[in-house]
Each structure stands twice: as structure tokens, then as C-alpha cells.
Amino acid sequence: MTEHVFVETAGTPGAPLIMTFHGTGGSETDLHGFAAGLLPGAHVVSPRGNVSENGMARFFRRDAVGVYDMADLARRSDVLADFVGAARDRVGATRVIGMGYSNGANIIANVSFTRPGLFTDLILMHSQIPWEPDPQPGLAAARVLITAGERDPVCPPEETRRLIAWYADQGAEVQDHWHPGGHEMARSEVGAIQQFLAG
């Protein structure tokens, strides 16, 4: 597997690290500037997905919408987890915030299922996890924000609610935010993310 192309904004010593993960067809710049403005002085690292689907960048392969190549997801989650760990160690951050949209949210959610101590905070925007993960008691110290659209044609709301309940069952501190639209990121999500990080 190829290494991730990424952009990085250096923060102040001891500041939190925010890592952003774009959706299908996006790039490493999609959420980078937004993240840099959330916590002044934070380190921000944003990788590009290294899978191409009809020319669109993704973080793992799928066979169809909502049908994931689970073996590829597992392999690429391991590689991405190592990338996150290396970035954390390089900047010396103790608070590591993973923020992903759609495909990017899916892969960092999957990383949290197997490497629960890697992210202290997770922001999962329009994530679709179409299976029930195994129990993960290591998430008891995690803070998780899940945002979604009530009429999202890509991420069925019932799957989102199941994911919210799953994180809560692991003991994580879970917040959720819904807007009345679909798969698009709404303005209200920005406020929810700001409040979550401030809290």
C-alpha cells in the first residue's frame, strides 16, 4: 500500500492534534482549513485517501454503496492507525482528535474499534457502519460526536442511531447532532463541532 499524501499545519508545543479525513472524491485540503480554525494553536494533519474509485480518492475499497471490502478496510485501517500514531508521537500531543466526513468518518470509526486508545475525541460526520462491531471496552474514556442528516440517502438514520447506541454501550461519552437534510454537511454541524471541542 502506498503511503498517504498529506498536508500539515504545525501547532504550538503541547497543543492538541486534529487529524481530518475527507469523504469519497475529496482531498487532503477539504477539512484542513476548517480544522485549523477550530482550536487555535492546534496541530492539524490531513491525509489523502490512497484508494482510487473511478478517479475519486477514498480510504478503503468497497464493492457497492454500503457494501465494504472488509479485508481491505482492515488492512488500510491498520496502516492509517500507524500513520496517526506516528503523527501523534511526532508532535507530542496527548489529545488526538479524529474528524472525518463520510468515507473518512467510516475508516476512523473502524480504527477506533480495534485501536481504541489512538483518538481521544472522534467527530464522525455522516458515517455509515453497516455491521455491529464487537464490544470495545477501551472506548470508555473516549469522547464521540456523531452528526447526521435525517434524510440522508447514503447513511440510513437507523444505522446512525445504532452506531450512537453502540458507542454509548462501550462507555464512551457520546453526543449526536441531526439536521433535517441529507448527506451534505449543514451549517448547524459546524456549531455542534465547535461546542463539542470546547466541552
pTM (predicted TM-score) = 0.96
Amino acid present at 145: L
Q: Which residues pair with 39 in a beta bridge?
A: none
For the segment 120-135, the average pLDDT, to the nearest whole number, is 96
Is 193 a residue whose pLDDT tops 80?
yes
CA dihedral (89, 94, 99, 105) in degrees, to 10, reads: 70
Residue pair 29/21 in contact (Cβ under 8 Å)? The answer is no
Cell numbers standing for residue 194: 465547535
For the segment 75-94, the average pLDDT, to the nearest whole number, is 96
Is 1 a residue whose pLDDT tops 60?
no
Picking from 35-39, 59-63, 116-120, 194-198, which range would have the lowest pLDDT averaged per residue?
59-63
Q: How many helices (DSSP H) and strands (DSSP E) are in the chain?
A: 5, 11
**C-alpha span between 133 and 100 (Å, rounded):** 18
Choose the catalytic residue: 102, 121, 126, 127. Answer: 102
For the segment 128-155, the average pLDDT, to the nearest whole number, is 96
What domains appear along the chain, each with residue ranges and CATH number? Answer: 6-198 (3.40.50.1820)
**C-alpha span between 116 and 96 (Å, rounded):** 12
Q: Is 183 a catalytic residue?
A: yes
Q: How confident is the model over 35-84, as pLDDT tens digits? A: 999 999 999 999 999 999 889 999 999 887 778 889 999 999 999 999 99
Percent pLDDT > 70 in the chain is 99
pLDDT at 2: 53
Choose the catalytic residue: 72, 78, 183, 188. Answer: 183
**C-alpha span between 56 and 92 (Å, rounded):** 33
Work out the mean pLDDT of the chain and round it to a whole number: 95
pLDDT at 180: 96
